[in-house]
A and B are shown apart, each in its own frame.
Chain A
Amino acid sequence: MARKSLGSHVTGFFRTSGEVGIFGFRAARSTFRPPFEFKEIVRQIFEVGWRSGPLVIVSGFAFGVVLALETRASMVSFGAEAMIPQAVSFGLFEDMGPLLTALLVAGRVGAGIGAELAGMRVTEQIDALEALAVDSFKYLVVTRVIACVIAIPVLTLLLDFSGILGGMAADLFALHMSVRLFLNDAFGPMGWSDYVPPTLKTVVFGFIIGTISCYLGYNATQGAAGVGRASTRSVVLSSLMVILAEVILVKSIQFWFPG
């Protein structure tokens, strides 16, 4: 019985993965076919991007402070306090900034999209769109996926820079380092390959979050319970897939942009 249950879980996982893949492919293909829902895309960018801004900025600032204070302890023991700004900037731009942004967005936006679309599905609003001769997939799914793809790189930069501000604030208080020196040390050693590829990889994170949460919401069933499930699973699956994608993308970026 347990073996059968495990087997059905494995089958279910692969089936869902395949369905999400096809769903994402359909969304990507539909992006380039009219009608282009520009108004709805702008509205969704506002929902995904603008409304996530405060969360991302505050989290980034706090993360920058923590990063600076945590690295300080190690750096001091090596007499390398001057390296703290560089550690903060590299830590944010290259490693943690994109991932942290994606996880924050997966939590806020993924849950929102999953719940909203699931609510629309179970109250027949998606059927109503179709009955009104509107392509619900293009109107609801493609617009949200595009919004995530566009908004997350911008949010990542917001988080990175607010993190630098946080790190700088921590260093100003702890080391009494000047702003100019901090910024020189933070950005001086950085080349374009240190921040452009890591920021652009968040396009993939945006696509993952948009696709998974739209898939779970758009295909929700079973009333209010289904709405809750879609919302929770959107966060869990999006976050998990973002982390897995990060592993692959980090290796790819290191391969294509060494040094």
Chain B
Amino acid sequence: MDNGQPAIELKHVSKSFGERKVLDDVSLQIEKGKAFCLLGRSGTGKSVTLKIMIGLIRPDRGRIVIQGNEIQSLDPAKLADVRKQIGFLFQKAALFDSISVAENVAFPLRRHTKKSEQEIQAIVHQKLKEVELENEGNKMPAELSGGMSKRAGLARALAFDPSILLIDEPTSGLDHITAGEIYELLLQLKKNRKVTMVVVTHDVGGARKFSDEFAVLDKGKIAGLGTAEELAQSQNSLVRDLAAGSQT
């Protein structure tokens, strides 16, 4: 499986919604085990790019290759197999609100494994402990704060020990301290497992703690690509401004 191919590859991907072109011939390569950060102003297609990566949105043109699998050509069963290797943390966590936090984490395990109830409970406890929510498992999602919801969503995304983690705005709407805790969690994930991460964020400062590479999306195209320092030297003022945002 590991033959040097990138974990995620976007090749000439374009996507429009009506008249509005969100992505225009975007190509990206994200190496295994790297943390990649997508930056850009609001509405520039960052979340759309994440959803395209996991096949939730179909591009109008282009190819998406995840660990060697071109996902548009996969049948539903094989696409499901690819998705099992990907954890997705949604912007507002998207926890299933009719079941408890622990049941949310257990949900993919119950659906896709033949593990015993005891094993599932052990995994759920371990995942909740990783995100410091081991005492909140019986709560309903509506009872959680914003930061706790994000961490619970992360626990669910980690239930399968995915090799790829797609994270949409992990710290939006959170205070600096809670945001710092989330970044610390992501840093630990990167250090302790070799998870490939793609993170959409506006907070370059926080993202610097764990990101290896940054890309700036603007007007449907990649306006800048490189490390935070490289972006700060860019000729493009928007790219520089976004990188400068890291200093504040």
Q: Which residues of B contact A123 (CB under 8 A)?
A: 92, 94, 97
CA distance A64 to B51 in the complex (A): 54
Known: A124-B90, A124-B92, A127-B51. A133 touches B83 (CB 8 A): yes
Interface string of A126-153 (1 = CB under 8 A from B): 0110111111000000000000000000
B92 touches A132 (CB 8 A): no
Q: Which residues of B contact A133 (CB under 8 A)?
A: 79-81, 83-84, 108, 111-112
Selected contact of A134 from candidates B86, B90, B91, B111, CB within 8 Å: B111
B54: interface (CB < 8 Å) = yes
Selected contact of A132 from candidates B55, B76, B81, B107, CB within 8 Å: B107
Q: Which residues of A contact B86 (CB under 8 A)?
A: 131
B88: interface (CB < 8 Å) = yes
A184: interface (CB < 8 Å) = no
CA distance A170 to B97 in the complex (A): 46
Q: Which residues of B contact A134 (CB under 8 A)?
A: 80, 108, 111
CA distance A87 to B107 in the complex (A): 52
| Total contacts A-B at CB 8 Å | 48
Give the B interface residue count (CB, 8 A): 24
Q: Which residues of B contact A125 (CB under 8 A)?
A: 94-97
Selected contact of A131 from candidates B54, B96, B112, CB within 8 Å: B54
Interface string of B102-126 (1 = CB under 8 A from A): 0000011001100000000000000
Selected contact of B83 from candidates A119, A124, A131, CB within 8 Å: A131
B177: interface (CB < 8 Å) = no
B1: interface (CB < 8 Å) = no
A124 touches B76 (CB 8 A): no
CA distance A119 to B108 in the complex (A): 21
Quote the shortest CB–CB distance from B96 to chain A (angstroms). Answer: 6
Q: Which residues of B contact A128 (CB under 8 A)?
A: 88, 90, 94-96
Quote the shortest CB–CB distance from B150 to chain A (angstroms). Answer: 13
Q: Which residues of A contact B55 (CB under 8 A)?
A: 130
CA distance A135 to B76 in the complex (A): 8
Q: Which residues of B contact A130 (CB under 8 A)?
A: 55-56, 83
Q: Which residues of B contact A132 (CB under 8 A)?
A: 83, 107-108, 111, 156
Q: Which residues of A contact B83 (CB under 8 A)?
A: 130-133
Quote the shortest CB–CB distance from B142 to chain A (angstroms). Answer: 11
CA distance A133 to B77 in the complex (A): 9
Interface hits, B178-199 → A, CB 8 Å: none
Nearest CB to that of A126 among chain B residues? B94
Nearest CB to that of A39 among chain B residues? B110
CA distance A135 to B79 in the complex (A): 11
CA distance A133 to B156 in the complex (A): 13
CA distance A158 to B189 in the complex (A): 56
Interface string of B64-89 (1 = CB under 8 A from A): 00000000000010011101101010
Interface string of A219-234 (1 = CB under 8 A from B): 0000000000000000
Quote the shortest CB–CB distance from B105 to chain A (angstroms). Answer: 11
CA distance A239 to B84 in the complex (A): 40
Interface hits, B123-159 → A, CB 8 Å: 156
CA distance A225 to B83 in the complex (A): 31
CA distance A103 to B246 in the complex (A): 58
Quote the shortest CB–CB distance from A47 to chain B (angstroms). Answer: 10
Q: Which residues of A contact B97 (CB under 8 A)?
A: 119, 123, 125
Quote the shortest CB–CB distance from B146 to chain A (angstroms). Answer: 14
CA distance A61 to B11 in the complex (A): 65
Quote the shortest CB–CB distance from B204 to chain A (angstroms). Answer: 24
Quote the shortest CB–CB distance from B107 to chain A (angstroms). Answer: 7
Selected contact of B91 from candidates A124, A131, A135, CB within 8 Å: A124
Q: A124-B94, A131-B88 are in contact. List 4 more A-B contacts (CB 8 A).
A: A128-B90, A132-B156, A133-B83, A133-B111
- Contacts A/B (CB < 8 Å), 23 sampled: A123-B92, A123-B94, A123-B97, A124-B91, A124-B92, A124-B94, A125-B94, A125-B96, A125-B97, A127-B56, A127-B90, A128-B96, A130-B83, A131-B54, A131-B83, A131-B86, A131-B88, A132-B83, A132-B156, A133-B84, A133-B108, A134-B80, A135-B80
Residues of B within 8 A of A (CB): 51, 54-56, 76, 79-81, 83-84, 86, 88, 90-92, 94-97, 107-108, 111-112, 156
Q: Which 4 A-B pairs have the closest CB atoms?
A: A133-B80, A128-B94, A131-B88, A124-B94
